[in-house]
Amino acid sequence: MPHLVLASGSRWRRQLLDRLGLPYAWQSPDIDETPHPGESPGALVHRLALAKASRVAQAFPHHLIIGSDQVALFDGEILGKPADLAAARAQLARFSGNRVRFLTGLALVDTRRGEHRVCHETYDVVFRALSEAEIANYVAREQPLESAGSFRMEGLGITLFERLEGDDPNTLIGLPLIRLCALLREAGMDPLGDRASPD
């Protein structure tokens, strides 16, 4: 059994983790993602990333468990997934010419040692000025109802942007690989080492 476990059912996060070439298992955690009253976006993604990893950790007592959670922010408001295509078009119209910030929480739980590390990365998307027709065509083609902010970086979403600002573009997709590699090294698993599993 792999010594690395991804606490996520997201195929996008699995595709990102695949890039490291490490063997891993994955399991989708079932947690309540409702924000607590007065909880800051940073505290929220820290709590949820750790909660996801901790939920899965119960079944993997000798592993490194990766948890991740992401929120999108616009004008201080946490953005949810659009309820329908009309809501997606309205959300994108608000973003036209503006900046949307993504916070992605990352947790690594070491069940062998009873330790965990938690952090988050920030990534900004600056939208170009979008016409109603461009928004309508994008939403019709991409159907982004499962994406907070009504767009997907993995697909046609790239056509909506003027620029991207941040340290690691993988953060926008949902798994900050640069920071993850650093956490794995701290925990004794070097992605470029001779062995793909920790001692």
What are the catalytic residues?
Answer: 69
Cα 43–chain centre separation: 15
**Kind and range of the H or E run holding 106:** strand 99-110
